[in-house]
Chains A and B, each alone.
Chain A
Amino acid sequence: MRLQVTNLMKSYKGSITALHDVSCSVGTGVVGLIGPNASGKTTFLKILAGLEEPTSGKVCFDGLELMYNKQLVRSMMGYLPQEFGFHRTITGEAMLDYIAVLKGIHDKKMRRRMVDEAIDGVNLNDARKLIIGEYSFGMKRRLGIAQALLGKPRILILDEPMEGLDPGESSRLEGVISEMAAQSLIVISTHSLNNVEFGCSTLLVLRQGYMMYKGSPAELVGLADGLVWQVEADFQQMEHLKMNYKVLGVQQTDRNIIVRVLSPQKPHEKARPAKARLEEGYLVLMNSRAQT
Chain B
Amino acid sequence: MLTLELADVSKKYKVNSWVLHNVSTTIKSGIYALIGPNGAGKTTLLRLMVGMLRPSSGRILFKGQDIRQDYGLYKQSIGYLPQEFGFYPNMTGRNFLHYMARLKGIPSSLYPVRVEEVAQYIGVTSFLDKKIGVWSVGLKRRLGIAQALLADPDVLILDEPMIGLDLEEKLFIWNYFSHLSRERIIICSSNILTDFTTFTDGVLLLVNGEVRFNGPIQELTDLMYGKVWVADVPVESRQAIENSWAVSELNTVEEFCQIRIVSDIIPDIPGVRLTQPRIKDAYTYIVRRKEPEQKE
Contacts and interface: CB of A to CB of B under 8 A. Distances in A.
A247 B36 contact: no
A37 B165 contact: yes
B52 interface: no
Contact of A179 (B38, B178, B192, B252): B252
A163 B163 contact: yes
Nearest to B40: A166
Nearest to B137: A37
Q: Is the interface of A mostly helix, strand, loop or mixed?
A: mixed
B35 A167 contact: yes
Interface residues of B, number: 49
A181 B252 contact: yes
Contact of A191 (B30, B39, B167, B171): B167
Q: Is the interface of B mostly helix, strand, loop or mixed?
A: mixed
Interface in B190-218: 191-195, 197-201, 216-218
A167 B199 contact: no
B198 A191 contact: no
Contact of A36 (B166, B199, B200): B166
Interface in B101-133: none
A193 B199 contact: no
Contacts of B201: 251-253
B279 to A, nearest CB: 9
A279 B284 contact: no
B90 interface: no
Contacts, number: 116
B254 A182 contact: yes
Interface stretch (B3-11, B65-73, B243-251): B243-251
Interface in B156-192: 163-169, 171, 174-175, 178-179, 181-182, 191-192
B280 interface: yes
A199 interface: yes
Nearest to A248: B198
Contact of A199 (B30, B191, B253, B287): B253
Given A171-B280, A283-B167, A192 B249 contact: no
A211 interface: no
B80 interface: no
Contacts of B137: 37
Nearest to B170: A191
Interface residues of A, number: 43
A14 interface: no
A168 interface: yes
A251 B175 CA distance: 11
Given A36-B167, A191-B166, A251 B251 contact: no
Contacts of A198: 249, 251
B252 A192 contact: no
A249 B178 CA distance: 9
B206 to A, nearest CB: 11
Contacts of B200: 251
A100 B249 CA distance: 30
Contacts of B164: 37, 163, 191
A38 B136 contact: yes
Contact of B198 (A37, A178, A260, A282): A260
B234 interface: no
Contact of A251 (B165, B199, B248): B199
B178 to A, nearest CB: 4
Interface string A162-187: 11111111110011001101100000
Interface of A: 35-38, 136, 138, 162-171, 174-175, 178-179, 181-182, 191-195, 198-199, 235, 242, 247-253, 260, 279, 282-283, 286
Interface of B: 30, 35-39, 136-138, 163-169, 171, 174-175, 178-179, 181-182, 191-195, 197-201, 216-218, 235, 247-254, 280, 283-284, 287
Listed from nearest, the 5 A-B pairs whose CB atoms lie closest are A249-B198, A175-B250, A194-B194, A250-B178, A138-B38
